[in-house]
Amino acid sequence: MAILQLIAEEEKSLCFDFLEEKIREESRKLIESIYADEVNQFLEKMASIVDGKGNRVVVRNGYHKSRVVQTACGNVEVKLPRVDDRKATEKFVSKILPPFARKTPTVETLIAALYLAGVSSNKFQEALSSVFGEDSKGFSSASIVRLTKEWQKEFEQWKRRDLRGKEYVYVWADGIYVKSRLDGEKTCLLVMIGVGIDGKKELIAMESGIRESTQSWREVLLDLKFRGLAKAPKLAICDGALGFQNAVDEIWGQMRIQRCWFHKTANILDKMPKCVQKKATQMIRDMHMADTRENALKAYDKFIQTFAVKYEKAVENLKKDKDDLFRFYDYPAEHWIHIRTTNPIESTFATIRLRHKSTKGNGTAKATEAMAFKLCRQAEKSWRRLKGFEKLDLVAKDMKFENGVLKEVA
């Protein structure tokens, strides 16, 4: 029985080897075919260039030396036609495989994905050798240096994009602290995510600032305004930092604020001993998970009466943001899960913190910003549309809601 099992496993292994070989063979044919088509198109384009006898001077000239290309299905050896373009008005450059390229774009994407996922650059060879073979080259830290420079350029271009015509119903704002390894700087990234009437969340701003100061946020909001984002959102969800709120009042006028319950809970518990934190956490949850504002305020009063005598600082921390904590009841109930906290930012940057922990931080502050931007842009592709997005249009039109339900117009 064991012998039969070994034979079956051997046949299975041979089958997989055969399939992998066929896939690589088809990849080789495809690359060579597309490259040949590019060459033919270039030759047709240059057909008008002739010598004194009317013969074309831009022609094929044999083949280049065989080149090993790293693809997503492994190493593929290709033989590509050569072009004599010395007398051409432009040089032939392949889009599928430019000169000296040894990796397909898919592989470049894979390297970036591994880096962003937390794989240290000095472990690329080990991580990818099982796919591309022991002799694979090009997965060095230099690849990451080049990639981060490209990301920095992309980041700078993104920060200059035109925002005219953009309008957001809700925005989430927070300051995220990350530390770079080489220069020792602790960077505060001021991040804003917004959602439009279509319910799709998108990254609006990311800028390094001096803590979460009013001046730093003021510069961010002014930049957005000058690039076309003149209309204030209907609600901003933030961690309670006065810097953002003061800047909002100055740039966009008085705007409604929803205090993040995640941050508020942490701030309250920080002023209480561990022996009561479990009970306090549940009582706080009873506030922001209540079905109506009235029931939430009952839970709020109960918390104050329970802890006011022994934990005055914790209670004062809760009381100072009372109005902004329960603002979400004035918006559609379907949106509550999204606007009670700054979770869209927190969950995205949790990935960045994990990457920093794995690789002991980025080298410089600039590299940190670029990496954070790239991670956010990748995460943006998977952000889900807001639950109940159909009602965002009502919010944008200033329709009134009470306990999450649209009020009837008299």
Q: What is the pLDDT of residues 343-374, one digit of tens each?
A: 888 777 766 665 555 555 555 677 778 878 88
- Write the DSSP symbol of residue 168: -
Same domain, 66 and 203: no
Q: Are 182 and 212 in contact (CB under 8 A)?
A: no
Token digits for 371?
A: 């990496």
Q: What is the DSSP string of 206-275?
A: EEEESTT-HHHHHHHHHHHHHTT--SPPSEEEE---HHHHHHHHHHT-S-EEEE-HHHHHHHHHTTS-HH
| End position of a domain, from candidates 99, 120, 139 | 99
**pLDDT at residue 229 tops 70:** yes
pLDDT band of residue 128 (cuts 50, 70, 90) is low
Token digits for 330?
A: 């004035």
Same domain, 347 and 254: yes
What's the burial of 130, exposed, middle or buried (CB within 10 Å: 0-12/13-18/19+)? exposed
In a domain, 119, yes or no: no
| End position of a domain, from candidates 99, 119, 137 | 99
User: Mean per-residue pLDDT for 29-49?
Assistant: 82
Q: Are 189 and 206 in contact (CB under 8 A)?
A: yes
In a domain, 410, yes or no: no
Same domain, 237 and 385: yes
Tens digits of per-residue pLDDT, 167-220? 999 999 988 877 655 455 667 888 999 999 999 999 999 988 777 788 999 999
Tens digits of per-residue pLDDT, 92-114? 888 667 676 666 555 555 555 55
Count of the separate structural domains present in the chain = 2
Q: How far apart are CA 69 and CA 98, in angstroms?
A: 11
Q: How far apart are CA 121 and CA 111, in angstroms?
A: 9
Token digits for 316?
A: 């004062």
Tens digits of per-residue pLDDT, 59-71? 888 888 888 776 6
Q: For residue 76, what are the domain limits? A: 2-99
What are the CB-based long-range contacts (under 8 Å, 24+) for 330-334? Answer: 330/256, 330/400, 330/401, 330/402, 331/235, 331/395, 331/401, 331/404, 332/388, 332/391, 332/394, 332/395, 332/401, 332/404, 332/406, 333/388, 333/403, 333/404, 333/405, 334/387, 334/388, 334/391, 334/404
| End position of a domain, from candidates 55, 74, 99 | 99
Token digits for 401?
A: 């809601």
